[in-house]
Amino acid sequence: MDQGKAYTWLVDDKDPAKSGNTDLVMAWHTMGGKLAPRPFEKVEEDGKPRITWVVEASTPADINGDSVKFEEFKKRWEDLEWCKANDWHPIAIMRAFRDNCRDGKRWAREQATGICKTKGNSRIVVYPHSPTWLKEEFARFI
């Protein structure tokens, strides 16, 4: 740590890939925000992962001419109403991108997986919830 600089620690017990803090810190870093010289510590404690992110909070990021310190960045990032009201601000765009990626991945995971057969230019796909007649057609499709 550098003397004379302020740092903010963000700690949680989630896997870094599922941590909201990881999203926040990476958004901050993408917008030009500074991280600590040693920006994270990942440990396992009592069988659970724990990650601590450390950002430099005293140096503001220049976001399209707007000088934003980390605490203000965090406040805006976490405020969905602010993001909706300022939908063309880079923070709001990054938040929307993160939310849409998360929702899209969840949606894709929840979809039933079908089985596909192709013959020439013909293709048939059945899913577990497909009607019986389609499953029978699929079985005959060679």
pLDDT tens-place string over residues 122-139: 899 999 899 999 888 888
Nearest-5° angle of CA 87, CA 33, CA 44? 105
Residue 1 lies in a domain: no
Rounded CA-CA distance 38/55 in Å is 9
30 with 44, same domain: the answer is yes
Residue 117 sits in which domain range? 112-142
pLDDT greater than 90 at residue 31: yes
As for how many domains the chain has, the answer is 2
Which phi and psi angles does 50 have, rounded to 5°?
-140, 130
Tens-digit pLDDT profile for residues 46-56: 888 888 999 99
Based on the domain organization, do 90 and 126 belong to the same domain?
no
- pTM of full prediction above 0.85: no
Q: Is residue 64 part of a domain?
A: yes
